[in-house]
């Protein structure tokens, strides 16, 4: 991997500094690979970590801090070229999810509905965190190993939850077995491997617009297959999601 640091300010602006070791220390101490001549830099300020496709920066609690895209690094943070959170992307995501809020704002279902919305919100947060973690893990681990480990742990938790919450034993039928096989092989298996393949080649922020197309396809499928009516709230939500997708991909 050909990794370089480029000086953007000061007397050496434009200079490129090659990073040729797995741990590239930055600071004023003699054992650092890069020693900037500034009192703003601590003796051991930070270190660049390069290993198996992973590039990260770890701050050593420096007084003036280490900043990536104007955000202070706390502990360690992964670096990816061009992965910047811009105002346009934030606005796009807000508009997209505002459409979902408009869709559900007029629906009233009491406490049960609020509990369900809260569960979905927490699930979405956990899925986002899982996506970011897998984007890092797949750079050094085989996607098949990730799939098998997830399947093993998920199956054990599923059986435990079933034993604790379902009083009646499960009556296995051919249809039930086929449904479980379909979910396991196609939905959880094939789609997981494809998702890992995408995360190996693209940043998570680049894949967000792709995931935002799911509610649009869901609305289309419901209208065509189930004959659900296209209300103005539903159309407005789709337009908002489309605008949000456009802003995040520009």
Strands lying side by side in the sheet with 46-51: 23-26, 46-51, 54-59, 76-78
Find how far residue 97's CA is from the centre of its chain: 16
* pLDDT of residue 151 exceeding 80: no
pLDDT at 140: 66
Q: What is the pLDDT of residues 80-132, one digit of tens each?
A: 665 444 556 667 777 777 777 776 665 555 555 667 777 777 877 787 777 77
What is the chain's percent helix, strand, coil content, to nearest 5? 55, 15, 30
Q: What is the arithmetic mean of pLDDT over 195-219? A: 70
Return the structure tokens found at 168: 């009646």
Q: Give the range among 91-95, 177-181, 231-235 with minimum mean pLDDT.
A: 91-95
pLDDT at 85: 44
pLDDT at 128: 74
* pLDDT of residue 58 exceeding 80: yes
Q: Give the range among 24-38, 40-54, 183-197 with minimum mean pLDDT.
A: 183-197
Within 10 A of 135 (CB to CB), how many other CB atoms are there?
22
Residue 204's pLDDT band, with cuts at 50, 70 and 90, is low
pLDDT at 109: 55
Higher per-residue confidence, 110 vs 246: 246
Q: What percent of the chain has pLDDT over 70?
A: 79
**Whether 89 contacts 250, CB under 8 Å:** no
**Whether 22 contacts 50, CB under 8 Å:** yes
Higher per-residue confidence, 165 vs 188: 165
Higher per-residue confidence, 80 vs 191: 191
Q: What percent of the chain has pLDDT over 90?
A: 1
The closest of 19, 66, 16, 23 to 41, measured between CA atoms, is 66
Q: What is the DSSP string of 93-137?
A: HHHHHHHHHHHHHT---HHHHHHHHHHHHHHHHHHHHHHHHHHHH
Distance CA 45, CA 173 (A): 62
Distance CA 110, CA 78 (A): 43
pLDDT at 242: 78
Q: Angle at CA 198, nearest 5°, toward 101 and 153? A: 80
Q: What is the arithmetic mean of pLDDT over 19-39? A: 88
């Amino acid at each position: 991997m050909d990794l370089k640091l480029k000086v953007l300010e000061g007397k050496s602006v434009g200079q490129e500094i090659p990073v040729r070791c797995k741990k590239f220390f930055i600071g004023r101490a003699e054992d650092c690979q890069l020693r900037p001549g500034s009192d703003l830099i601590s003796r051991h300020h930070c270190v660049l970590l390069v290993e198996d496709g992973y590039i990260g920066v770890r701050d050593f609690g420096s007084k003036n801090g280490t900043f990536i895209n104007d955000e202070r690094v706390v502990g360690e943070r992964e670096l990816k070229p061009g992965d910047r959170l811009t105002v346009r992307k934030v606005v796009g995501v807000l508009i997209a999810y505002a459409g979902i809020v408009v869709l559900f704002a007029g629906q009233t279902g009491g406490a049960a509905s609020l509990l369900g919305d809260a569960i979905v919100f927490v699930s979405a947060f956990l899925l986002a965190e899982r996506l970011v973690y897998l984007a890092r893990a797949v750079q050094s681990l085989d996607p098949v190993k990730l799939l098998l480990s997830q399947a093993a742990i998920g199956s054990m938790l599923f059986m435990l939850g079933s034993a604790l919450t379902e009083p009646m034993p499960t009556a296995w039928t051919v249809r039930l077995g086929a449904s479980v096989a379909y979910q396991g092989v196609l939905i959880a298996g094939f789609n997981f491997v494809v998702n890992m393949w995408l995360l190996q080649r693209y940043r998570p922020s680049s894949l967000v617009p792709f995931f935002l197309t799911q509610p649009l396809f869901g609305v289309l499928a419901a209208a065509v297959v189930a004959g659900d009516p296209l209300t103005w709230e539903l159309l407005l939500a789709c337009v908002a999601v489309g605008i949000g997708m456009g802003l995040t991909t520009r």
